[in-house]
Structure 1
Amino acid sequence: MSWSGIWPVAPTPFNPDGSVDYEGMKRVIDCMVDQGSDGICILANFSEQFLISDEERRKLTEISLTHMAGRLPVIVTISHFATEIAVDRARHAKAWGAEIVMMMPPYHGALMKAAPDQTFEQFARVGEVGLPIMVQDAPLSGVDLPVPLLVRMARDIEMVKLFKVECPQAAAKLRALIDEGGAAIEAPFDGEEAITLLADLEAGATGTMTSATIPDQIRPVLDAHAQGDRDAMIAAYERVALAINHENRQCGFRSAKVAMREGGVIASDFCRHPVLPLHPDTRDLLLRLIRPLDPVVLRWGK
């Protein structure tokens, strides 16, 4: 299997009363397929996984994988501080047809963080389930994942094959990871809405995990890089850079839901408390920046 290209994160739609819009989730999946994604990720941080109950998580997994019906590979995020819960989530994802699971190292709040050996053991236990694992190296966890630990995991845990690096100075870490890990680093990805994509691709990233806002407009950056055309890559990135910057620095996970509501994909861009809706001016600027790009999301449901 080829683990490369653009694998955006699916937002979780809510009804205006705060309940999960499961029918809307199916439309999100369909839209993301039509955006030309190479795969998608569900239940990630940009899916508001920290605002979803365990039962909702299980139902979203089942509905998403059933509705996808093999059209694209799906990564299911299973992060949890408790190893047994992470293992159970991995088994559930595998039973419903997930291709990959993604997980951060064990953490809870600001102070409960796993030591390196505990992190290694949790990933090894999840690896026994038999699905490829994407290691998410994200600042949100607050857990340091030094390159030697990541290389050890890649070499000694058969299922640790993919790496999503979205820490500060991601390109430098990707370069070191690839240099030290060699063939064991099968799929080095970046994240952060592609705000560091140019440097990360040149450092050796084979894929990116963006939001679901404009992945079809970011894809030309990856295509030009794959063709070895650096000037075209930079030009393609310049076209989307302002939108990416505004999403990353001002909007976060709310951006995809705003765009999907605007384009008729979902009926509501509601976010659960304590998340606040975007300020009207911030929302307006987001739409003003992406409309000239003519992304699939703004015309999908119209």
Structure 2
Amino acid sequence: MQKKFVPVMITPFNLKAQIDHDMVEQLVDFYLEAGVKGFFANCLSSEMYSISEDERLELTRHVVRYVNGRVPVVATGSFGLTIPDKALFTQKIHDTGVDSVIMITGHFANVDEPDEILLQRFEQLFSLTGDIPLGLYECPAPYKRLISPEILATLLATNRLIYHKDTSCNVAQVKAKLAVTAGSRLEFYDAHTPNAVDSMKMGAAGMSSISGNFYPEILVWLCNHIHDESKQAEVRWIQAELQRVDPLIHIGYPLSAKYFLQQRGLPVRTISRAHALELTPEQKATLQQIYRDFKGWCDRLQIKEVGTATSPLH
């Protein structure tokens, strides 16, 4: 089965720190030209905790409208203080036209609450949301609530889940969860780029990692060639390269991604609501070096670097 890369979309802002919808469209075009097979809008990379409820809906609606069915779109819906609040917002996100509404696992139990509480609250949400297709995301914020294979099996039995974004960063955990989801309609995506090859070879549907906001072509190439016997040396080599730079691109994220895209010629402003600090000269120099590395990766793998916009910042 063809593996898929699904980017966790960043949110571009204008000089007033409002969502720049024109730039959102340029980003969608950029990702699609790179060969992505879906979008995760209104996620942590989108700075979802730093935008209002209306902005979350407006951003998701705009992405769905502009993508216009070319690939699936998913978005986070589990906002609200109570489970009925979360159910209401889930309905609102679903009404934007997304293919699945994603539940943040850390929204359903406090860090010190047991899995029984988590399951009770999920059960309540399922009962309040009809037949809306849902997904899970082990988001690092408000805290990373990892789902065990047993809990995943219980939730999967409801027949409501079609999507899971895993952040366990643990190959053994990924393998156990994939065993649970085998044969179901749930698509399992690993968020951890260093796990990419192992996860996909074990049966993951694909990748959904922040590295796709830097060099989506590379992740798409990896998805396309993971089972290509003639390319296994290159697969191992690029996996090692991605693993090497992965900790570096996380520093100052999502500003790091916006700065990197500027290096690529995209007029994305380095304005973030989630990351208040400017990138240091050292961080910028590191990202410039990774950009040079990226161009070398493209040369070695014979990947065409996606054409980027040349319009000035507006």
Check whether TM > 0.5: yes
Q: How does 1:258-297 map to 2 (within 5 A)?
A: 258-272=259-273, 275-294=276-295
When residues 3 and 59 of structure 1 are mapped into structure 2, their CA distance, relative to the original with a 3 A threshold, is: farther
Check the 8 A contact 1:172/1:203 in 2, yes or no.
no
Question: Which residue of structure 2 aligns with residue 95 of structure 1?
Answer: 95
CA contact (8 A) 1:65 1:97 kept: yes
Give the direction of change, closer, same or farther, for the CA distance of 1:158–1:108 in structure 2 (3 Å limit). Answer: closer
**1:250-265 equivalence runs, <5 A:** 250-265=251-266
- Describe the SS at the equivalent of 2:266: coil
Residue in structure 2 matched with residue 37 of structure 1 by the alignment: 36
Distance 1:82-1:287 versus aligned 2 partners, 3 A rule: farther
Equivalent residue number for residue 174 of structure 1: 174
1:138-149 aligned at under 5 Å gives the runs: 138-140=139-141, 141-149=143-151
Tell me the SS of whatever aligns to 2:64: helix
CA deviation after TM superposition for structure 1 residue 49, in Å? 0.6
Matched residue, 1:86:
86
The question of whether the paired residues in 2 share the 8 Å contact of 1:177 and 1:185 is answered with no
Q: What are the Cα deviations for residues 68-106 of structure 1, in whole angstroms up to 9, with x where unaligned?
A: 112221111223253233323332333232112222125
Structure 2, unaligned runs of 5 or more: 299-303
Alignment of 1:35-184 (within 5 A): 35-80=34-79, 81-107=81-107, 115-122=117-124, 124-125=126-127, 128-131=130-133, 133-140=134-141, 141-155=143-157, 157-169=158-170, 171-184=171-184
The 10-residue stretch of structure 1 (207-216 or 14-23) with the greater mean CA deviation from structure 2: 14-23
For residue 8 of structure 1, give the secondary structure of its aligned residue in structure 2. coil
Which runs of no fewer than 5 residues in structure 1 stay unpaired? none
SS at match of 1:96: coil
Assess if the C-alpha contact under 8 Å between 2:253 and 2:275 holds in 1: no
Tell me the equivalent position of 1:301: 309
Deviation string 1:119-173 (CA, Å, 9 cap, x unpaired) is 4325524652422x22112443343422111111111x2221222111242x211
Equivalent pairs, count: 296
Q: Please give the alpha-carbon distance, in whole angstroms, between the structure 2 residues aligned to 1:247 and 1:286.
A: 7
Alignment-derived partner of residue 246 in structure 1: 248
Could you tell me whether the CA contact under 8 Å between 2:30 and 2:306 is conserved in 1?
A: no
Secondary structure of 1:14 counterpart: coil
| Contact 1:86–1:126 (CA under 8 A) maintained in structure 2 | no
Q: TM-score, normalised by structure 1?
A: 0.86
Q: Secondary structure at the match of 1:47?
A: coil
Secondary structure of 2:288 counterpart: helix
Specify the code of the residue in structure 2 equivalent to 1:91.
Answer: Q
Superposition deviation, residue 50 in structure 1: 0.7
Q: Is the 8 A contact 2:254 2:272 kept in 1?
A: no
Counterpart contact for 1:263–1:297, Cα < 8 Å: no
Contact 2:105 2:139 in 1 (8 A): no
Shift of 1:174: 1.6
What TM-score comes out, normalization by structure 2 length? 0.83
Go from structure 1 to structure 2 and tell me whether the alpha carbon gap of 1:189 and 1:159 turns closer, same or farther (over 3 Å shift).
same
